[in-house]
Structure 1
Amino acid sequence: MVTRDLEGWTIAFDLDGTLVESAPDLIGTLNRLLVLEGLPTRPVEAARHLVGHGAMALLKDGFREAGAEWDAARAPELLDAFIADYRLHLADHSHAFDGVAAALDALSARGAILCVATNKRTDLSVALIEALGLTRHFAAIVGPDAVSARKPDGAHIREAVTLAGGDPARAIMVGDSITDTAAALNAGVPCVMVSFGYTDRPAGELGGTCVIDAYGELAEAVTGITGRA
């Protein structure tokens, strides 16, 4: 029998780079826009660090790394073009990281509420998670448009947890970037970092509570955190 030792706890997950390897499709959309602008494309591996801060940040940084000056006046037009293209291709090559589904099932079996707190728009997040067959795991999928302030503001985590029916005082964040650790710190919750996400600094340097290298390690990490609470 599985012990329901996580009753009353909520675990919030970042999406891009934490639950899902989505860089190929995000960079694919960026590259199609760069081609239309007559700019050089970016290899996925060289541009993975651009992912995880929202579409506008990806556009700005992607254009700059391609050698173009960012034209703020064109930002709405370029963002609309990005969203339209990405919506058509969001699950062409994206996939859940190894062990995600099993880890989520195990946490739910122990009584945890699960939710997503991501800087990707809610509608796109819902569509991606649905396309990958992961929707059933989450009580809420919460992008920046559904909260009062986006990560790294701690309100994003607190409000996502509340929308999922959880208690922000008994929550854990799982993420891959400084945006996630900063949001967790601001929300006053511990943060489990994955080492395989989208950051140009080692995960162990980002200020999280602990680091895991695979989803098979998540259950033990969560147990360690809740056991100290």
Structure 2
Amino acid sequence: MRDTINVLDVPVDRITMEEATRRISEFVNSTTYHTVITPNPEIVMLAKDNPEFKAVMKRADLIVPDGIGVVLASKILKNSLPERVAGFDLVQNTMKQAVDKGYRYYFFGSKPGVADLAAEKMRSTYPGIQIVGTHDGYFTEEDIPAIIEEINNSNANILLVALGAPKQELWMDKYKDQLPHIRVAIGVGGSLDGMAGVVKRAPEFFQKVGLEWFYRLMMQPTRAKRMLVLPKFVMEVYKEKYHKK
């Protein structure tokens, strides 16, 4: 039985990193397809304004609070999530167990060459890991049947989809019935870029104090426009809080 809280009508699992890693293991050992979504405040706001996207999120099997803003929102709503469960770290935790548990990954998304480089780096980091296929995120609608066939032929059971939100979540939901071997599809945003070393992750200090977003903003000032969603998100959370009273 899932234990979730609503953040702007998005159900977020009240779960720790350890529990989320264990849940993915359970998914892989099942006989059905599961989707995992890793929202930050920007993604929650996208869902608020996009009914189709919100419906997809509500159908997901696991939603973990990737952004510290989602955790802080839960505290404002007096229904606290236990901790941030960053999507990048969650995937890395599964990879630490991959050899023993028989995980087989397919990397799908990001710019040409990035998924291949990420696969190479992860094979070096986790000797023996099975990364059985890759495909970049540049494709047309006509390419999708061939991509699905390639994923199926790879015999992967974990699919990492790095197409950006909401495209990756909509894709995972739309094609789930055509991916019979996939047991877990995870929307990973820019994680393949991080695995490949194309984008440098924030130092551990920034991660621990919940300022990874600020570090990314310093490194990529062009993200400033996107960051304007944060005060809007906080306002919406407070509106929800006082509306419930």
Q: Same fold (TM over 0.5)?
A: no
TM-score interval for Structure 1 and Structure 2 normalised by the shorter chain: 0.3 to 0.5
- TM-score normalised according to structure 1 size: 0.32
- TM-score normalised according to structure 2 size: 0.31
